[in-house]
């Protein structure tokens, strides 16, 4: 029986998280109060994972992209080929852990994307940010602490653990002053990473643009060990620098969702050059070939829909109203470049 694919969670923006906190208060009367977060550099590559069944299981090591299983014959930026070449490394981990495990990271470096510091290193590497352990009682525990990940992952010249970047930041979502101070600080941090990717600089001694930051909640025990996946992922958020944003907005971090005046304004905000480039990598393996048109359009529609629910609601729009225009503009972009 084939091991079911385990997808990495979709990480939304700060304003989406703030809305979720407010909804929790209005629906349950509960107030979360101040939450503390810590960030990691968001690496500019393609989401990748390796699934490890328990030892003795007839299923083998399985490579995956963000959306599907991959293999050397149907690959994503040659990640599955690399996993196959290093099968012994992952089999050794499988023997050690003896539980269903998924290693999540960013497959990045030369030829995966373009424009960022990581693409100057002259090769491809697997930058790990999380290992998920699927317990026998079906609970999924997520390990994101870099020290624990380093201890868990055997040494390998192509495997790196993304470290924490910067100090903790505490945010009281119910206090306007706290929110204002947090947004100012978060935007400063993202700007600094965009100016110089600290992970790439310290690890590979290459200077260049960083993509942004991903922030993890510390209140769920994330920094002290393995956290419940559901508890952790619902409070994560990301913030990208201007050069990597897939949503058109002035700042990396904003407090409120955008209110968009029309369908055209919605499409201009969400069908951006960066999102289209990401779709090209994730859905088409980086190839401008018209045979991938359907995959490209499907990826764009799904990605925009998953990230825009709050903006649609705030703008009084529905997905049915905007979907056709999203597809039209996405198709035009693909055909103009294919």
CA gap 239, 21 in Å, rounded: 18
Please choose, from the candidates 186, 195, 176, the residue with its C-alpha nearest in 3D space to the C-alpha of residue 215. Answer: 186
Beta-strand ranges (E) seen in the chain are: 34-42, 46-52, 62-65, 69-70, 100-109, 124-134, 140-143, 159-161, 164-172, 212-217, 227-228, 237-240
| pLDDT per residue as tens, the chain (338 positions) | 456 788 898 888 888 887 777 655 555 555 666 788 999 999 999 999 999 988 777 778 999 998 889 999 999 999 999 999 999 999 998 888 878 899 999 999 998 887 789 999 999 999 999 999 887 767 888 899 999 999 999 999 999 999 999 999 998 887 888 889 999 999 999 999 999 999 999 999 999 999 999 999 885 444 446 677 877 888 889 999 888 888 888 888 888 878 899 999 999 999 999 899 889 988 887 788 888 999 999 999 999 998 898 899 989 999 999 999 999 999 999 999 86
DSSP 255: S
Give the SS3 label for residue 74: strand
Q: Is the dihedral of CA 18, 20, 25, 31 positive or negative?
A: negative
- Beta partners for residue 131, in sequence order: 103, 143
Kindly report the CATH class assigned to 14-244.
alpha beta
- Count the neighbouring beta carbons within 10 Å of the beta carbon of residue 170: 14
CA gap 299, 283 in Å, rounded: 6
The first and second tokens of residue 299, run together, are 């990826």
Give the SS3 label for residue 154: coil
* Count helices and strands in the chain by DSSP H and E runs: 12, 12
CA end-to-end distance (rounded Å), the chain: 39
Query: Contact at 8 Å (CB) between 46 and 211?
Result: no
Query: Contact at 8 Å (CB) between 69 and 83?
Result: no
CA gap 173, 16 in Å, rounded: 12
Kindly give the interhelix angle for 319-337 and 293-307, rounded to the nearest 10 degrees.
140
- Count the neighbouring beta carbons within 10 Å of the beta carbon of residue 241: 23
Query: Contact at 8 Å (CB) between 167 and 177?
Result: no
Query: Contact at 8 Å (CB) between 190 and 213?
Result: yes
- Beta partners for residue 142, in sequence order: 132, 227
Please choose, from the candidates 66, 71, 61, 123, the residue with its C-alpha nearest in 3D space to the C-alpha of residue 92. Answer: 61
pTM of the model: 0.84
């Amino acid at each position: 029986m084939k091991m079911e694919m385990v997808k990495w969670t979709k990480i939304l923006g700060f304003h989406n998280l703030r809305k979720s906190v407010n909804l929790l208060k209005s629906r349950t009367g509960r107030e979360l109060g101040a939450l503390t977060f810590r960030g990691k550099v968001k690496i500019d590559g393609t989401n990748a994972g390796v699934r490890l069944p328990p030892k003795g299981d007839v299923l083998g090591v399985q490579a995956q992209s963000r959306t599907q299983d991959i293999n050397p014959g149907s690959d994503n930026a040659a990640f599955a080929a690399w996993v196959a070449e290093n099968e012994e490394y992952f089999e050794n981990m499988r023997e050690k852990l003896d539980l269903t495990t998924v290693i999540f990271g960013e497959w990045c470096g030369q030829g995966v994307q373009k424009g960022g510091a990581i693409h100057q290193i002259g090769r491809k590497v697997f930058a790990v940010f999380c290992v998920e352990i699927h317990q026998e009682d079906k609970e999924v525990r997520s390990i994101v602490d870099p020290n624990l990940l380093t201890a868990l992952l055997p040494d390998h010249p192509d495997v790196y653990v993304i470290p924490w970047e910067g100090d903790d930041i505490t945010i009281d979502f119910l206090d306007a002053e706290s929110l204002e101070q947090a947004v100012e600080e978060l935007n400063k941090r993202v700007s600094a990473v965009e100016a110089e990717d600290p992970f790439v600089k310290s690890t590979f001694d290459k200077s260049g643009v960083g993509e942004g930051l991903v922030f993890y909640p510390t209140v769920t025990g994330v920094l002290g060990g393995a956290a419940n996946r559901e508890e952790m992922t619902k409070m994560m958020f990301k913030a990208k620098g201007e050069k990597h944003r897939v949503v058109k907005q002035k700042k990396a971090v904003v407090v409120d969702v955008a209110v968009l005046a029309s369908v055209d304004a919605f499409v201009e905000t969400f069908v951006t050059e960066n999102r289209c480039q990401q779709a090209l990598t994730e859905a088409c393996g980086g190839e401008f070939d018209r045979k991938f048109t359907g995959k490209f359009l499907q990826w764009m529609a799904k990605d925009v829909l998953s990230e825009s629910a709050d903006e649609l609601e705030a703008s009084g729009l529905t997905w049915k109203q905007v979907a056709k225009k999203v597809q039209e503009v996405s198709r035009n972009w693909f055909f103009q470049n294919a």
